[in-house]
Amino acid sequence: MSNSKNNSKSNLKEKEKKVSFFQLYKYSNKIEKVMIFFGAISAFIQGLCDILEILISIVLNLNLKILLENVLKSMVNAMVSHDQQKILSFISEHPNIDYGKIYESFQKSQYGTYDLTSKDFTFNTMDEIMKRLYKIIILLLIIGVVAFVTGFLFYVLLNMTASRQSSRIRSLVYKSLLNQEIEWHEKTSPGELSSRIISDTILIEDGIGSKVGTLIQNITTFLACYVISFISSWKLTMCKYY
């Protein structure tokens, strides 16, 4: 009996064939293929949104630094005017800034003789800065909403199609088992069959589910980072390969 069981197991292993990744989708119908397509597109958009959020966050931080120009503007006006009231008002408005130390270090620097009243010293107004910040924040919110929607879509669509395909595979395997002859069932352990049906379909469902969307998302983000780096400075991008 043990030899017959071992022979049956060896025969089963010999008959096992490797299946490619795309063959796992052979049991999907037209509706599920459409769902897979939109899930992949959503994962692609999600990957683009990730890199866009990073870029917009950098731009937002840079624009926040521009707000310091207003402080610099008031300080320069106080330096140029030499008006005691303006200097005192600046010190009272910004008590954490050591005006005397900054003015002394500026006079000792190479720019101490520079004409501060020149037109080269131009500053953005507070309204211009806030308008720019509002646009960036609104754009960041829009990208965040798009990223949330696409992330939800690719997760739900791909997992739904994977679950439906795995249940269809289970039913097809069960029908195939019913059509087998009695001799085949005598040589095969029923516990092994049931465990294989459950475990293998779970692996298939896990492999064609949301992990595919995560893979597409990560590849898109990776490629987008390289494209942006080459556009901004291809020489600097190529430096890391030398």
pLDDT at residue 72 is higher than 90: no
| Single pTM value for the model | 0.63
Give residue 169's identity as a one-letter amino acid code. I
What's the rounded Cα separation, in Å, for the pair 27 and 228? 39
Percent of the chain scoring above 90 in pLDDT: 12
Class of domain 29-66+125-241: mainly alpha
- Residue whose entry in the numeric block shows the structure tokens 């190479």: 110
Grade residue 37 by pLDDT with cuts at 50, 70 and 90: very high
pLDDT at residue 231 is higher than 60: yes
Q: What is the pLDDT of residues 158-167, one digit of tens each?
A: 999 999 998 8
Across the range 83-102, mean pLDDT stands at 69
- Whole-number average pLDDT of the chain: 76
What's the rounded Cα separation, in Å, for the pair 239 and 182? 68
What's the rounded Cα separation, in Å, for the pair 203 and 205? 5
Residues 42 and 153: beta-carbon distance below 8 Å: yes
Give the total residue count for the chain.
242
Grade residue 126 by pLDDT with cuts at 50, 70 and 90: low
- Per domain, the residue ranges of the chain are 29-66+125-241
Q: What is the pLDDT of residues 95-116, one digit of tens each?
A: 766 666 666 666 665 554 545 5
